[in-house]
Amino acid sequence: MSSVEEFRAEIRGWLKTHLSGSFAALEGRGGPGREHEAFAERLAWERHMAAHGWTCVGWPKEYGGRGATIEEQIAFHEEYALADAPARVNHIGEQLLGPTLIDHGTEEQKARFLPPVRAVEELWCQGYSEPGAGSDLAAVRTRAVREDDAWVVTGQKTWTSLAHEAQWCFVLARTEPGSRRHAGLSYLLVPLDRPGVEIRPIVQLTGTSEFNEVFFDGARTDAANVVGAPGDGWRIAMATLGYERGVSTLGQQVGFRRELDALVALARRNGAAADPDIRDRLTRAWAGLEALRAGALRGTDPSAAKLYWSHWHRDLGELALEVCGPAATLAAAAPYELDDWQRLFLFSRADTVYAGSSEIQRNIIAERVLGLPKEPRP
């Protein structure tokens, strides 16, 4: 048995043993559009994982991880998804902030922030998008001014996932007055439990509120809480986005497979599979998912991968309502209780927007991957 197969067998056995008792009820809970489900219990589960060394498996051992290889990380995320284990509550800290600090942070920052992330004692959110700077991230207007031993932050962030549950936010802010676009930005680590921070949940199409607006009105963070040099925030922010589209997407694809298999089963039960168009679209969805997995294993460019999976998942949501038929237009119960297929359809509309909109991904692919001329800009 290879080391990867041994690693896969180890995590599979651990999940089978520990996803039991009070934790058994968490199977399948949480995830996009459902982050409100059993949040406290999922937090306890993830702390249980941390106590047994199953968080941050890809981090180097010197920072509390297992030093897992890419192949082992793939095995971990796939086995976690195959076990139908609950959606992670600490993924922003573990998969985005942690790797960013390991590669770009100071030793002091690593010592302060990495242990609480690994132990799931501090949760993080991402302060990038703004009302006027969503897809055009370089247009951020949130500003930070250095005052003695602190940065003073003023501005607004939006679509901030799980900010209402987080204690910290990594914020892209403009720290050089008069700077434009990618220049003059800094990557700041800002506590959310201080004066000058207001968090307002945003009600989504699904009726839930996992996104938030975050307002900073003179919020302060220590001067040392800047990752990289002041003014070098764009480079650090882009590094974080690269980690966001990493190997964990293979676990995501296991969830996609479960959704597709359930949809095929529904189409067979309710007779929708008798429609040749439905059969064709289900077959295309299967082929698309196979291509998505092959691309991920081969190491597809992150922008291309994000563009592909987000459209595949949005299309699956549309197909789901076609399979369900006219009843899909009715809520299950008052005032707004959705079934799984309705929730999939509504929330997957956001897949092509968050983590970099499809329009921006196409520009990145064209200009940075294919080397085509840049789009004219004013």
Nearest to 243 by CA among 170, 302, 293: 302
For the packed helices 70-82 and 248-270, what is the interaxial angle rounded to 10 degrees? 30
Contact 24, 93 (CB under 8 A): no
Q: Contact, 120 vs 47, CB < 8 A?
A: yes
Distance CA 278, CA 263 (A): 11
CA distance readout (Å), 267 to 162, 313, 323: 34, 18, 6
What distance in Å separates the CA atoms of residue 275 and residue 262, rounded to the nearest whole number?
17
First to last CA, the chain: 59
Contact 143, 134 (CB under 8 A): no
Q: Is 359 a catalytic residue?
A: no
Could you tell me if 255 and 305 are in contact, meaning their C-beta atoms sit under 8 angstroms apart? no
- Quick one: CA dihedral 296, 298, 299, 304, positive or negative? negative
| Active-site position among 72, 79, 244, 259 | 244
**Segment (H or E) for 253:** helix 248-270
Dihedral, CA of residue 293, residue 57, residue 350 and residue 363, to nearest 10: -70
Tokens 């959110």 locate to 125
Active-site amino acid positions? 244
